[in-house]
Structure 1
Amino acid sequence: MTAIDQAITRACSLPCWTDPQDAEPLGGGITNINITLSDQGKKYVVRLGQDIPEHSVLRFNELAISRAAEAAGISPRIHYSEPGALVLEYVESRAMVEEDLHDHQTLISVAKLIRDVHTNVTDIVRGPIVTFWVFHVVRDYAAFLKENGSVHIPKLQALLDEASALERSVGKIDLVLGHNDLLPANILQAEDRLWLVDWEYGGFNSPLFDLGGVATNCSLPEEAEHLLLKTYFGADPDPALLRSYNAMKCGSLLRETMWSMVSEITSEIDFDYGAYTAENLSRYERAITNIFPQRGLK
């Protein structure tokens, strides 16, 4: 039995169903296996996944933030949950791609959605919630990669030195509840609104991490980045904000790169993590060279 077959069997066996039908995999996930199915005329998404300690993914945290995002009207309604499984109502929509956010009106809508997350979900979320500080994540990933004999060990010290310089450049931050994984595929475009899904990396962070994540994951040009920041903050960004933002943007790319390096070792999902590492490392190197042209950071 394949991993997908096992996932479908698990999804259909959950006690929340009367007569589950039409179960099939939902593509796109590179951390979890997602299954869609129907029951009593309604369609659902079943997210299957255990805690992932090497990525600091804790399902109690994901559930708490998903509940808050539902209450804020940002994420679909939770139908059922148990350890290792989260069932959401299916919403008719399509996952965004990079090019969608190159449209200025769409980008403005996404900037407002991010601001709503940081304002409303922060106020609603209950219970203990993790802190997602990207530079701690990077240091933790580096230690894991060394302990597990990664092929990327020769690169790590230079990346850690750069991470320290970026952390200093970010400076003092505001603290909000962030999504922290703003890939375009996690933003769903319905007929009349946007939804934001997949909260497994959610936690308290700087708002600049989500903003920088959108920019890097969607390859936004400088003009679009300016619009993103202006819409979010309600004013043109000043030089201090731009310096902090650009450093956090590099931190976002470095984290995505090292996430993939770790996943090369640990993940059992059928995905080319090696190519994903190379793609993100290239993006990171271009971005940090724009900030520190000499790359000999002090």
Structure 2
Amino acid sequence: MVDQARARVMEMDFWQGEVSVQIMPGGLSNHSFLVEDHGLKYAVRIGDDRPEHAVYRYNEITVSQAAHEAGLSPALVHHEPGAMVFEYLADGRVTDAAALEQMDNMDRLVGTLGQCHLDLSDHLEVPGPMFWVFHLNRRYARIIMQHGDTDDGAFGGNSAPVLGRLMALNDELETAIGAITPVFCHNDLVAENILDDGVRFWLIDWEYGGWNDGLYDLACLAAHLDLGAEVADALLHRYLALCGRKINQTERRRFAAWKCAALIWAALWGGVGRMFANLDFDYAAYSRERIDLLERAVAVFREI
């Protein structure tokens, strides 16, 4: 599959001449390449619509353009069906938990998230979708039930009991969240989608961009990086202060609920991804890791 994606890159009309193409790490639903063309470097993503994940590239293109105009992302310089070409961030480094333990890094990242939630929607040319994770979780569970998992999958050959427990938790978390004030969010803030050039943070890969509670982005980041309790609490405190709100147990409980919901989504994403795999990736192991993180996150949620 990667050879076909590479050939697709080389056949694009955008290039000025012969190009060099290298595989880039990251990207679990598309192929990513670093392309050099006449001394200029580009990050190229190859991927078609993924209806099973409710991923449609026209939305990603529009949001990517708005994110660049808002100063959040590198420019999308070219797109054609199944392909997007971005400016390459040569100095961009993937974020990790250790980096966020440094308060200056945390402050910079919170500022970037605030900029996203407050400014990006002003640059959108379309309304943009709603990313309501609880509904998406139910949809994923139905797909897994309809297609069935295997004995060596994360949910097992008889997936109904596991999915039933996850959906009961999903309903509980949705009730705990309650009403929200939607802002435009990234909705997939894993480490690979947050790049630091030493001056500022950049957000990339907007395929799940949509309206949501701003705390979801924060919770997604904290959950996937498995941030320690003190670091996660400091992150929440800074974000709420930016929004003119004070940290309290109610906010902490909602934050904990969002973390659990994000991990359910990630675990189910892996289950569905395995059924429609287009990359050489261990989706079952990914789901199991997220379920392990979820068990710990639920314990924290229950204690608040």
User: In the TM superposition, what is the alpha-carbon distance from 1:192 to its structure 2 partner?
Assistant: 2.1
Task: Show structure 1 runs of 4+ deviating over 6 A.
Answer: none
Question: 1:84 is matched with which residue?
Answer: 82
Whole-angstrom distance in 2 between the partners of 1:289 and 1:230: 21
1:1-298 matches, cutoff 5 A? 3-92=1-90, 93-151=92-150, 152=155, 153=159, 154-234=161-241, 235-292=245-302
1:296 counterpart residue number? none
The range that moved more, 91-100 or 34-43, is 91-100
Identical columns (%): 35
Report the alpha carbon displacement of residue 164 of structure 1 after superposing the two structures with TM. Answer: 0.3
Structure 1 residue identity aligned to 2:103: H
2: CA distance between counterparts of 1:265 and 1:216? 24
The 8 Å contact of residues 37 and 44 in structure 1, kept in 2 or not, is answered as: yes
Q: CA deviation at 1:249?
A: 1.2
Q: What is the count of residue pairs matched by the alignment? A: 291
Q: Which residue identity lines up with residue 185 of structure 1 in the other structure? A: E
| Aligned equivalents of 1:31, 1:101: Cα separation in 2 | 26
The alpha-carbon distance between structure 1 residues 243 and 99, as it changes in their structure 2 partners (threshold 3 A), is: same
Q: Which 10-residue stretch deviates more, 257-266 or 228-237?
A: 228-237
Q: Deviations over 1:143-162 (max 9, x none)?
A: 00001012422301111011
Contact 1:99/1:218 (<8 A) preserved: no
Give the Cα separation in 1 of the matches to 2:2 and 2:148. 29
Structural RMSD (CA): 1.3
Task: Please state how far the C-alpha of 1:285 moved relative to its aligned partner.
Answer: 1.1
Q: What letter corresponds to residue 234 of structure 2 in structure 1? A: L
Secondary structure, counterpart of 1:285 in structure 2: helix
TM-score scaled by structure 2? 0.92
Q: What is the CA distance between 1:232 and its match in structure 2?
A: 1.3
State how far apart, in whole Å, the 1-side matches of 2:7 and 2:274 are. Answer: 27
Q: Contact 2:21–2:35 at 8 Å: present in 1 too?
A: yes
Q: 1:123: Cα distance to partner?
A: 1.9
Confirm or deny: 8 A CA contact 1:226 1:236 kept in the other structure: no
Matching residue's letter, 1:191: G
Query: Could you tell me how far apart the structure 1 residues matched to 2:175 and 2:23 are?
Result: 43
Give me the whole-angstrom Cα distance separating, in 2, the residues matched to 1:291 and 1:188: 29
Deviates more, 1:134-143 or 1:85-94: 85-94
Deviation string for 1:121-151 (max 9, x for gaps)?
Answer: 1221121411110000100000000010124
Q: What is the alpha-carbon distance in structure 1 between the residues aligned to residue 121 and residue 239 of structure 2?
A: 16
The CA deviation at 1:40 is 2.3
CA distance in 1: counterparts of 2:145 and 2:133, whole angstroms: 18
Measured against aligned partners, the alpha-carbon deviations of 1:160-217 in whole angstroms (never above 9, x if no partner) come to 0110000000111110111000001111111322211000011111111101011111
8 Å Cα contact 1:7-1:35 kept in structure 2: no
> Residue 78 of structure 1: CA displacement?
1.1
Quote how far apart the aligned CAs of 1:242 are: 1.5
Look up the equivalent residue of 1:82 and give its one-letter code: E
Summarize deviations over 1:58-102 as a string: whole Å, max 9, x none: 101101110000001110011101111110011112222333223
Q: Which amino acid aligns with 1:283?
A: L
CA distance 1:209–1:121, change in 2 (3 Å): same
